[in-house]
């Protein structure tokens, strides 16, 4: 049975017909062709499929597409306007927060949620904050540094706009 | 991995969901956060024919004190609990547990009601519910029922909930002076099933005598359990280090762990002994604050 869903993805409204059992990650990758959202473990352990659903980080391999009806979704493609970097993306670039890049979209979107709830996290809070996202290359140190840089930059931006 | 075929139904209200469950029969399952059920469906351990989505129902997400109880709506997410000022200030046992439950993205979706209704001894909340002697409130075809936690878990993934019953609220004692709880679990890595976990809740009178105590365990038995023999030892006593030592030993004897890739039975019993003692000390310290 197909269900019609309408949702906003990276600012654009999308209407589609989906099967009950279609997973959100497959909808995003295969129906919307947004392949920046990766599939890693497929068991909600690794966080490669992390997206923002109504502003909160969610593992899209463990979410039914039909349940996203009415939701606002942000994937890595929509985090900042084309050709620009979000402060977190820039920080991952500056601090070498990635090697192979497979975990990076998930890491960055998870970090958006983390810094929204806790704009000035300690190193320990960052490590707990990204504990559901696995990286097999970096050993995490540069990822932590990236989140720290992003936190500082985003604080500065916030102060500048007040 | 994708789940076996099923038909999705979205419930607009509790009444609506119960009516759907009555119509669809036993092959229907309720889904709230879905972070326990959907992984099982993807692995084909669960193959329900119908999923009734209760996550969009309004009014079941709240944390409030009412009279002498704390009420938590079943659809309250673990993240909402994590950031609740009320829980952070007065209910440390929840803060202890939630930061150890899965990971932040899972907690954004997973609900307290689902954590309990799933009936899995590896989930964290059942141990807390035993420790705090919770009441589980469910609505079903034959009205509202309040189920004491000791009558809630019937077997491996089996609970007192009928197929048409929806867990709507949990109730635990309101925090007051002389009460304190604590929870700790050991896991190999974030998101893994617990190797072992222990929840403790103490109620002391003005003289420091233990009036009530609950000790609940995580993932060292097939069905979530409390440790009655250790509770009996402590009830009515002024809790001393000697009693805590004895309670640790009793708990390690009465739990029912099995050897698996997380450790041998002997290791798990030893771990339960250590965590029980630590949590009794921590709960005692909090109760005396």
Whole-number pLDDT of residue B163: 95
The pLDDT of residue A143 is 98
Given a cut of 90, whether residue A1 has pLDDT beyond it is no
Question: Do residues B282 and B182 touch, judged by C-beta distance below 8 A?
Answer: yes
Do the Cβ atoms of B2 and A110 come within 8 Å? no
Tokens of B279: 């949590």
Give the strand pairing for A50-53 and A72-74.
antiparallel
Alpha-carbon distance B220 to B121, whole Å?
8
Whole-number pLDDT of residue A161? 85
Distance between the two ends of chain B, CA-based, in angstroms?
Answer: 50
ipTM over 0.90: yes
Which residue spans within chain B are E strands per DSSP?
7-10, 28-31, 50-53, 63-66, 69-73, 135-140, 143-148, 153-155, 158-159, 166-173, 179-187, 194-204, 210-218, 225-226
Predicted local confidence at residue B89, as pLDDT: 96
Find the closest chain B residue to A43 by CA distance. B39
Q: Cα separations (Å) of A39 from A62, A98, B3?
A: 11, 17, 16
> A with B: how many residue pairs have Cβ under 8 Å apart?
87
Whether pTM exceeds 0.80: yes
Contact between A39 and A25 under an 8 Å Cβ cutoff? The reply is: yes
| B-chain residue closest to A48, CA distance | B105
Q: Is A21 on the interface with B (CB under 8 A)?
A: yes
B51 CB neighbours in chain A (<8 A) are 20, 64
In chain A, helix, strand, coil percent, each to 5? Answer: 40, 20, 40
Please give the DSSP secondary-structure letter assigned to residue B89: H
Q: Does A127 touch chain B (CB under 8 A)?
A: no
Residues 164-223 on B with a CB inside 8 Å of A are 190-191
Backbone angles phi, psi at B158, to 5 degrees: -115, 135
The pLDDT assigned to A50 comes to: 98
The tens place of each residue's pLDDT in chain B, 289 residues long, gives 899 999 999 999 999 999 999 999 999 999 999 999 999 999 999 999 999 999 999 999 999 999 999 999 999 999 999 999 999 999 999 999 999 999 999 999 999 999 999 999 999 999 999 999 999 999 999 999 999 999 999 999 999 999 999 999 999 999 999 999 999 999 999 999 999 999 999 999 999 999 999 999 999 999 999 999 999 999 999 999 999 999 999 999 999 999 999 999 999 999 999 999 999 999 999 999 8
| CB-based contact B5 A21, cutoff 8 Å | yes
Q: Is pLDDT of A34 > 80?
A: yes
Are the Cβ atoms of A129 and B104 closer than 8 angstroms?
yes
Q: Are B39 and A58 in contact (CB < 8 Å)?
A: no
**What is the least distance, in Å, from the CA of B39 to any CA of chain A?**
6
């Amino acid at each position: 049975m197909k269900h019609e869903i309408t949702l906003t993805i990276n600012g654009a409204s999308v209407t589609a017909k989906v099967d009950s059992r279609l997973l959100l990650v497959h909808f995003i990758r295969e129906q919307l062709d947004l392949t920046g959202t990766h599939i890693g473990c497929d068991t909600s352990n690794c966080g490669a499929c992390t997206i923002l659903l109504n502003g909160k980080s969610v593992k899209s391999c463990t979410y039914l597409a039909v349940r996203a009806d009415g939701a606002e979704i942000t994937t890595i493609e929509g985090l900042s306007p084309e050709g620009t970097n979000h402060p977190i993306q820039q920080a991952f670039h500056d601090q070498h927060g990635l090697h192979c890049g497979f975990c990076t979209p998930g890491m960055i979107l998870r970090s958006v949620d983390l810094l929204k709830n806790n704009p000035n996290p300690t190193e320990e809070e960052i490590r707990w904050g990204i504990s559901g996202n696995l990286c097999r290359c970096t050993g995490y140190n540069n990822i932590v540094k990236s989140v720290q840089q992003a936190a500082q930059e985003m604080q500065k931006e916030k102060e500048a706009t007040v | 991995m994708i789940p076996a075929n099923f038909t999705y139904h979205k419930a607009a209200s509790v009444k609506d969901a119960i009516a759907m469950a009555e119509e669809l029969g036993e092959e229907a399952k309720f889904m709230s956060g879905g972070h326990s059920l959907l992984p099982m469906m993807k692995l084909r351990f669960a193959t329900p024919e119908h999923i009734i989505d209760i996550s969009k129902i309004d009014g079941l997400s709240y944390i409030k004190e009412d009279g002498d109880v704390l009420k938590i709506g079943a659809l309250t997410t673990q993240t909402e609990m994590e950031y609740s000022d009320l829980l952070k200030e007065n209910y440390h046992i929840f803060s202890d547990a939630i930061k150890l439950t899965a990971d932040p993205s899972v907690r954004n979706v997973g609900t307290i009601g689902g954590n309990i209704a799933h009936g899995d001894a590896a989930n964290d909340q059942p141990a807390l519910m035993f420790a705090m002697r919770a009441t589980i409130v469910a609505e079903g075809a034959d009205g509202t029922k309040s189920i004491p936690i000791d009558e809630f878990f019937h077997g491996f993934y089996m609970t007192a909930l009928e197929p048409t019953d929806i867990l709507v609220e949990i109730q635990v004692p309101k925090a007051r002076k002389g009460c304190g709880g604590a929870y700790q679990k050991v896991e190999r890595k974030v998101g893994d099933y617990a190797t072992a976990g222990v929840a403790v809740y103490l109620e002391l009178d003005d003289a420091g005598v233990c009036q009530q105590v609950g000790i609940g365990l995580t993932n060292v038995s097939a069905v979530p359990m409390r440790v009655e023999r250790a509770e009996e030892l402590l009830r009515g006593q002024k809790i001393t280090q000697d009693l805590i030592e004895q309670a640790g030993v009793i708990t390690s004897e009465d739990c029912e762990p099995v050897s698996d890739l997380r450790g041998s039975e002997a290791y798990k019993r030893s771990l339960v002994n250590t965590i029980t003692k630590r949590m009794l000390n921590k709960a005692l310290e909090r109760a005396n604050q």
